[in-house]
Amino acid sequence: MHVLTVPADLDSLDDVGKYVVEAASQAGLDRKAAYRLRLAVDEIMTNIINYGHTEVGLTGDVTVRSAIEADKLTIILEDRARPFDPRERPEPEDLDRPLEERNIGGLGVYLALKGVDHFNYEYVDQMNRNIFVMYRPLQA
Amino acid sequence: MAFTCTLTLNNEVAHITLAGELDAAVAPQFRAKIEEAAAAKVTRLVLFMSELEYMASAGLRSLAFAKQKMGANVDIYMVSVQETVAETITMTGFHNSVIMVESYDEA
């Protein structure tokens, strides 16, 4: 699939969502797997926009790449905000507690990392690379 | 599909119908409706979700916001939640704090 470059702005979430849904369809992911992938990319993209850009007054672009191989679909988000590895964020510990007693942060990263088959992060050439992998169903 | 969010107030019960895709970009629209309902001092919030195809964690945070604004004793009902959306609600433990039902009839 083509490479998508969008401004780091919440208005871009819709375009990125459509891109991921299209890639998932081309890769033959089932409905639930496609949904979890779209959710994962959407959550990390939202963090890149809010914490990497808006909160620190930075403007920039995010590039979305995809690769379909025999056994897997990979989606990569690339941005030039300060380094942030989502895997370093502690998992929420109070998921079973009533809402009014909970600390509500960290849910997006939690859903992203739990939802994909494999997640990887690297910081290369002053660039964050968030890498999402879903295994494709075996072809009959 | 574009997100829509409509509020109706029936005495002390707020009905909000959600449709389309609820991400961080449109979550403020949902929050605005919750604030409107909270200002009317409702005792129950009923969310009709059969047409809601997608919900990110920004939607979950709006629900936590509703509990804060309205008070912990206001019951939140979720009606006809799609399976994929329900999975997110369950994974994050929110199902413990809301009442998920297949259909809703005002008693």
pLDDT by residue (tens digit) across B48-81?
Answer: 999 999 999 999 999 998 988 898 889 999 999 9
- B61 found inside a domain: yes
Partner-chain contact B57 A107, CB within 8 Å: yes
Q: ipTM score here?
A: 0.94
Partner-chain contact A96 B92, CB within 8 Å: no
Nearest CA in chain B to A40: B56
- B107 found inside a domain: no
Residue A86 in contact with residue A101, Cβ under 8 Å?
no
Q: What is the dihedral of CA A27, A48, A17, A105, to 10 degrees?
A: 100
Q: How far is the C-alpha of A115 from the C-alpha of A97, rounded, in Å?
A: 21
Taking Cα atoms as reference points, which of A54, A55, A45 lies closest to residue A6?
Answer: A45
User: How many contacts, defined by CB atoms under 8 Å, are there between A and B?
Assistant: 76
Partner-chain contact A14 B25, CB within 8 Å: yes
Q: How far is the C-alpha of A35 from the C-alpha of A13, rounded, in Å?
A: 14
- B36 found inside a domain: yes
Give how many domains chain B has, as a whole number.
1
Q: What is the dihedral of CA A6, A131, A34, A62, to 10 degrees?
A: -10
Q: How do residues A38-76 score in pLDDT, each as one tens digit?
A: 999 999 999 999 999 999 999 999 999 999 999 999 999
Architecture of domain A4-135: 2-Layer Sandwich (3.30)
- B89 found inside a domain: yes
